């Protein structure tokens, strides 16, 4: 039991690494791209399980909803995040 506690303590001190897929444009780890890949995989598994009746426990409708939400989140962030700051010049109004 002490060895198990040592393993858990070591993991909590150093942290448990989570692997993210890197965005090809920014070369940075992307949580949204990782979730898109995971949800796409689960949706494909659900559709293939529905056709082949091999995996009966996956709900294909919810897997497709999850994929749709992750795709909207990923592509929504890609559209709104340009990486450039925009400065808006103030209008000077002549009040005379």
pLDDT at residue 81 is higher than 70: no
> Residue 85's pLDDT band (boundaries 50, 70, 90)?
low
Contact 73, 32 (CB under 8 A): yes
List phi, psi (to 5°) of 44: -65, -40
Output the pLDDT for position 7: 79
Model pTM score: 0.57
The pLDDT tens digits for 18-77 are 778 888 877 888 888 888 898 998 888 888 877 776 666 667 788 889 889 988 888 887
Distance between the two ends of the chain, CA-based, in angstroms?
84
**Residue 35 backbone class (left: φ over 0; alpha: ψ -120 to 50; beta: rest):** alpha
More confident site: 78 or 41: 41
Of 69, 70, 51, nearest in space to 60 by CA: 51
């Amino acid at each position: 039991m002490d060895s198990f506690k040592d393993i858990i303590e070591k993991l909590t001190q150093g942290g448990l690494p989570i692997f993210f897929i890197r965005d090809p444009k920014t070369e940075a780890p992307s949580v949204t791209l990782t979730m898109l890949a995971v949800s796409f995989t689960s949706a494909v598994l659900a559709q293939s399980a529905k056709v082949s009746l091999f995996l009966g426990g996956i709900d294909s409708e919810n897997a497709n909803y999850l994929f749709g939400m992750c795709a909207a989140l990923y592509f929504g962030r890609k559209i709104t995040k340009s990486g450039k700051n925009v400065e808006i010049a103030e209008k000077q109004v002549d009040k005379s």
